[in-house]
Amino acid sequence: MNIEEFRNYCIAKKGVTEDLPFGPDTLVFKVMGKMFALCALERLPPQVNLKCDPERAIELREEHDGFIIPGYHMSKTHWNTLYLDNLPPKLITELTNRSYDLIVAKLTKKAKAELDALS
């Protein structure tokens, strides 16, 4: 999966916006204003940061040694960095969905209601 495919997958999700709050090199995807994915635009190989359950994050790092690492410039407990070129697209979409779901689960009732109201 390349960066453009990853971007298209993320922005197709309900309530997602994209932004460059950290400068022109890092694309951030948010659901209802909360980050669930960060994409390094200038890094080769292409990399993304995704939120993850702490236990699963460790498992993934062990299973995909060198291709999934602790989150670059993020909480190493809750975020992983994925090297997109070296992972199956199905795994990337699965982990992107989980990151999105973790953020949605923590939204306020009001934000969840607004998300649910979106078409």
pLDDT at residue number 50: 97
- Every domain of the chain and the residues it spans: 3-117
- Mean pLDDT of the region 86-111: 97
CATH 3.20.10.10, applies to 3-117: no
The tokens of 95 are what?
């982990």
**Which of 73, 71, 46 lies closest to 61, judged by CA?**
71
Contact criterion met (CB below 8 Å) for 31 and 15: yes
Residue 119 clears pLDDT 80, i.e. is over it: no
First-to-last alpha carbon distance for the chain, in angstroms, is: 27
Q: Greatest CA span in the chain, whole angstroms?
A: 40
Q: Is 90 exceeded by the pLDDT of residue 71?
A: no
- Tell me the β-bridge partners of 70: 80
DSSP state of 65: B
DSSP symbol at 116: H
pLDDT 10s digits, 4-59: 999 999 999 999 999 999 999 999 999 999 999 999 998 889 999 999 999 999 99
Residue 43 pLDDT: 86
Grade residue 76 by pLDDT with cuts at 50, 70 and 90.
Answer: confident
